[in-house]
Structures are given as C-alpha cells and as structure tokens.
Amino acid sequence: MNKTAIITGASRGIGAASAYAFAQAGYHLSLCCSHSSSDLKQLAAKLQAEFHTEVLTFTGDVGDHDFVHEMVNATISHFGHVDMLINNAGIAHIGLLSDMTIEEWNHIIANNLTSVFSYCKYVIPQMVSRQNGKIINISSVWGNVGASCEVAYSACKGGINSFTKALGKELAPSNVQVNAIACGVIDTQMNACFDESERAALAEEIPAGRFGSAEEVAHLALQLATGNEYLTGQIITLDGGWI
C-alpha cells in the first residue's frame, strides 16, 4: 500500500522540495498553497510524470479551519489514509511590535500556528486508529531564541515548538511521532529580502559559511519520516551551527 503525505505551503521553497523528496520515495501527495495555484499544479504535473505518483492539489487559506477540514477529508476520502503530515506553510512579518496591528497579529497567528492545530486535529484520528503516523512541523531557530522585529513570527515558532513537545507525548502511546525542524537561514523566497552584501554578512555569521537549502530540509524531513519510531517530541535544529 502506497504511503500518503500532506504537505502544506508546497508551491515553492521547503514545501516544494519536500514534495519532490517524498514523491521520489514513493509517496502519494496532497499539496496546498495559498495563492500560487499555477505553480502548484505545474509541480504536481512534474511529480506525476517523473515518479508516477498521485498528487492532489488544493488552494486556500491554511488559517481557515474549514478549508483545512475540507482538504484533509478530501485527502482521506481519496487515498484512504494519511501517513505523513508536514506543516510547512507560514508567513513572515518584520517590523516593530508597537507598529503591528491586531489584524496583522491575528493573520500571522492563524497562518503559522493555528494551521498546525487544524491539520493535526483532523489527521490524528485516523493515525491513532491505525496506530501509525508521523507529523513534522517546520519551525525556526527564532522559535528557540527569538528575533528582534520578528516578535509575532518568533511567538508562532516558539508555540510550534511547545506544541510539538506536548503532542509528541500525547501521541507516543499510539505510535504516532511528532517532531519539528527548527530551520536557520534557508535559501528560499522568504529570505529574498536580503541584498548581496547582507547575504554575505549573514553567511559569515554562520559557522557552515552558507545558507541552508530547501533540499536539505526536505532530506531531513524524509529521514524523520522513515526513521526511528522512538524519536518523538523533539525540536531538531538545522542551522549550520549558527544559533
């Protein structure tokens, strides 16, 4: 029986790289994005052609609890089960907290943190019923240490880290593992705001001397998906030794 993975925020970056890695490993996929529907469909077509896997695509707001419910239900209805959930979707917000509006705060919390709750809520029952499943939450080093002018983003990622530890304990008796990857500076569109001099200065701060790649995050996610069932409730930092 083919395994099935749900990957959120899959039209680009870490999500797209994860979709490629899991398709290559033989997984059927259920992918979503918020806006880039054409990019997501192009990715799905490429994966289907290259790896002969089935791919469902959804476009919607992961911060919308009803959208998440519909996506998960459609995925389970089509494939029969979900073996793997990668909560990757997220947005950034840079600026002083005192300048942030309550609408901006609620928006980032809904997309980065509430979405994790929603997907887990609807995926978990069938994982527990089957006594098998894995959940990987894509977090950030800012969830470990916080970042100036990224208070809301840091709060979301810190929340994801605590969520991961608690849910890992809750689901361990059911043989469902929950872990998080706390990423450092990954070379994705989210970090495209840096100019060349800023990128060079930032790379110098990182002991590995470079940004990480989306493919490296995806490879670690795949290792967690296929690896040790005794590993759960952990925040695994992938940052080239930076933090």
Catalytic residues: 153
Q: Taking the mean position of all CA atoms in its chain, how far away is CA 108?
A: 15
**DSSP SS3 for 43:** helix
Spatial separation of the C-alpha atoms in residues 71 and 82, rounded to whole Å:
12
Contact between 142 and 183 under an 8 Å Cβ cutoff? The reply is no
Count other Cβ atoms within 10 Å, centred on residue 12: 17
Amino acid at 48: Q
Token code pair at residue 180: 């998080």
Spatial separation of the C-alpha atoms in residues 243 and 241, rounded to whole Å:
6
Q: Is 236 left (phi over 0), alpha (psi -120 to 50) or beta?
A: beta
